Amino acid sequence: MVKKWWKESVVYQIYPRSFMDSNGDGIGDLRGIISKLDYLKLLGVDVVWLCPVYESPNDDNGYDISDYQGVMGEFGTMADWEELLAGLHERGMKLIMDLVVNHSSDEHAWFVESRKSKDNAYRDYYIWRPGKEGREPNDWLSFFSGPAWQYDAQTDEYYLHLFSTKQPDLNWENPKVRREVYDMMTWWLDKGIDGFRMDVINLISKVPGLPDTADGSGGGEHYINGPRVHEFLQEMNREVLSKYDIMTVGETIDVSPEDAVLFAGDDRGELNMVFQFELMGIDSGPSGKWEVLPWKLTKFKEIVSRWQTRLHGKAWNSIYLNNHDQPRLLSRFGHDGEHHNVSAKMLATLLHTLQGTPYIYQGEEIGMTNVRFETIEEYKDIETLNMYREYLDKGHASEDILKSIYAKGRDNARTPMQWNGEEQAGFTTGTPWIAVNPNYKEINVERALNDPNSVLHYYRNLIELRKKHEIIVYGDYKLLNAEDEQVYAFVRTLNKERLLVILNFYEKPAEFALSERIAHETREVLISNYEVSAEEDFHQLTLRPYEARVYKLF
Ligand code: NOJ
């Protein structure tokens, strides 16, 4: 397998608005991040992925960009950003930036021009169509509720927006748009950044003619992995990416491992890896993410194992269990009460021992949990607020909608980072833009640093192990127990070395039998979330609640 620095790295994702506020305005900022660089170094991560910090009216917290080459005033200045980059580099860490080019803000200068007239030079930078019999040009739906088209009286036409009405889709069919994007990317790379995370990058190519859907189901079949997406990414790679030693990860909605091999295959000349959504869909019903269903470990293992084996030797996995769009992993897949500490460590063990690059989302390393605000007024996320209104209109009860929000709302991940037990969790001296999770007195960085048994120190150990054992990065993967509904066990192999990972996913103690062959091998515990006795019968293990063990076998 080809060795690459980005395969050996651990990435830490920062959502700047909620990370650290340096000036008391209640909004996280660049100087706040700078003040925490030594913390990141202590944690041991190699790469920071910074969610958008560009100029933006913040309809979708920075994913609606009005100037791709400017820094958002609320976050600081370009000089602050440069200091951040230098600070990371000085400490041996790298920086990847969020690239959001499926759409811009409607306040971007291109769109301001584009909407002025049908013959404006920027008209074709976006996707404009006349209405059909007084209605939208087609029946596509927006990810943020309602139709994917917005009527604009000035020119009596509609523009396409797959996300909010303030996020018009860029027209990638237009070579001038692609040139602008490539030039902008080059400009950032020349400033010394180390790569990009590419927002919904598999939506950039739409089927020509923009046809209606077959069944009114939203339109995804006409823009997910669209006809020219690989051509565009190969062009981007040729024109920009291939000229630098960087890492790229594409956010790709609704892709299979086979699609991933096309986006990130070693020989494809496109991206280094993609984020898959199959695992994140494990607890969603047919009507989508807000229909919350129980999930099963057998299905969980099936999905992860399929991605592990189908990409092996062909493309590279990115491993994540949460991010700024997802609920907190602990509340979703672990136990955010009594077994908080052990279950956070168990999930971390999985994250760091699969084949692929692990992504840690801010706060995950101290076991931050979901939040339950009592009223809808406390929520800030546009997706959540739009959905709430839509569901109320359809006749759902407010309590029921709130239940879905508690399980799946994006604000679960966006409450301020909990630094200490002081007011506002040490995030700000002012009033935070979104309320702090009330559990900050128990769950915070300061406490975790002082407790040798904390989730934080366990993350540090896992990250360190990755640097010591090549097998964690490059070993292949084999699932041991597909049918077991409680334990997840797998073996990684590299040359003559083997790694055995055993995880109890539930509170209930579990019996777990190992094969004669494995049971007789010499073993060493590399990491575990409980004390492990050397006396134990290795044929038949009894695992404690959320127990995780990683063995090296000889
Ligand atoms: C995916 C981003 O992660 C999410 O936060 C954003 O709302 C959409 N793309 C639109 O940019």
CATH topology of domain 89-102+175-461: TIM Barrel (3.20.20)
- Which atom in ligand 1 lies closest to the alpha carbon of residue 103? 11
pLDDT, residue 106, reads 98
Amino acid at 551: Y
The average pLDDT across 10-14 equals: 99
Say if ligand 1 is within 6 A of residue 80 CB: no
Angstrom distance (rounded) from CA 325 to CA 328: 9
What are the pLDDT digits (tens) for 345-382?
Answer: 999 999 999 999 999 999 999 999 999 999 999 999 99
pLDDT higher than 90, residue 455: yes
Amino acid at 479: L
What are the pLDDT digits (tens) for 174-192?
Answer: 999 999 999 999 999 999 9
Q: Identify which of 318, 173, 316, 189 has the alpha carbon closest to the alpha carbon of residue 235.
A: 173
Ligand 1: which residue has its CA nearest to atom 6? 63
pTM of the predicted protein model: 0.98
251 noted as active-site residue: yes
Angstrom distance (rounded) from CA 171 to CA 160: 10
pLDDT higher than 90, residue 165: yes
Q: Are 144 and 382 in contact (CB under 8 A)?
A: yes
Say if ligand 1 is within 6 A of residue 59 CB: no
The upper half-sphere exposure of residue 170, i.e. CA atoms within 13 Å in the direction of its Cβ, equals: 26
Ligand 1: which residue has its CA nearest to atom 5? 325
Ligand 1: which residue has its CA nearest to atom 2? 199
Rounded distance from Cα 161 to ligand 1 centre (Å) = 13
pLDDT higher than 90, residue 536: no
Residues in the chain, total:
554
Amino acid at 383: E
Angstrom distance (rounded) from CA 124 to CA 108: 14
pLDDT, residue 367, reads 98
Say if ligand 1 is within 6 A of residue 144 CB: no
- Which atom in ligand 1 lies closest to the alpha carbon of residue 163? 10
Rounded distance from Cα 287 to ligand 1 centre (Å) = 20
pLDDT, residue 332, reads 98
Domain with CATH 3.20.20.80 in the chain: 89-102+175-461
- Element at 358 (helix H, strand E): strand 357-361
Domain with CATH 2.60.40.1180 in the chain: 475-553
Among 196, 325, 414, name the best residue to mutate to test ligand 1's pocket (greatest count of ligand atoms within 8 A of Cβ).
325
- Which atom in ligand 1 lies closest to the alpha carbon of residue 325? 5
Rounded distance from Cα 404 to ligand 1 centre (Å) = 19
Query: Could you give phi then psi for residue 182, rounded to 5 degrees?
Result: -65, -40
CATH of domain 475-553: 2.60.40.1180
Ligand 1: which residue has its CA nearest to atom 8? 63
The average pLDDT across 519-544 equals: 93
Ligand 1: which residue has its CA nearest to atom 4? 325
CATH topology of domain 109-160: Oligo-1,6-glucosidase; domain 2 (3.90.400)
pLDDT higher than 90, residue 395: yes
Q: Could you tell me if residue 269 is left (phi over 0), alpha (psi between -120 and 50 degrees) or otherwise beta?
A: left
Rounded distance from Cα 199 to ligand 1 centre (Å) = 6
Say if ligand 1 is within 6 A of residue 325 CB: yes
Rounded distance from Cα 497 to ligand 1 centre (Å) = 40
pLDDT, residue 216, reads 87
Say if ligand 1 is within 6 A of residue 63 CB: yes
pLDDT, residue 537, reads 87
Q: Are 30 and 75 in contact (CB under 8 A)?
A: yes
Rounded distance from Cα 63 to ligand 1 centre (Å) = 6
Say if ligand 1 is within 6 A of residue 361 CB: no
The average pLDDT across 62-76 equals: 98
Query: What percent of the chain lies above the pLDDT cut of 70?
Result: 100
Amino acid at 58: N
- Which atom in ligand 1 lies closest to the alpha carbon of residue 382? 7
Say if ligand 1 is within 6 A of residue 169 CB: no
- Which atom in ligand 1 lies closest to the alpha carbon of residue 410? 5
199 noted as active-site residue: yes
Mean pLDDT, the chain, rounded, equals: 97
pLDDT higher than 90, residue 300: yes
What are the pLDDT digits (tens) for 255-279?
Answer: 999 999 999 999 999 999 999 999 9
Say if ligand 1 is within 6 A of residue 411 CB: no
Domain with CATH 3.90.400.10 in the chain: 109-160
Which one of the listed residues 21, 169, 199, 364 is annotated catalytic?
Answer: 199
Distance of CA 349 to CAs 299, 460, 488, Å? 19, 11, 11
What are the pLDDT digits (tens) for 204-237?
Answer: 999 999 999 988 889 999 999 999 999 999 999 9
Say if ligand 1 is within 6 A of residue 200 CB: yes
pLDDT, residue 534, reads 82
What are the pLDDT digits (tens) for 474-491?
Answer: 999 999 999 999 999 999
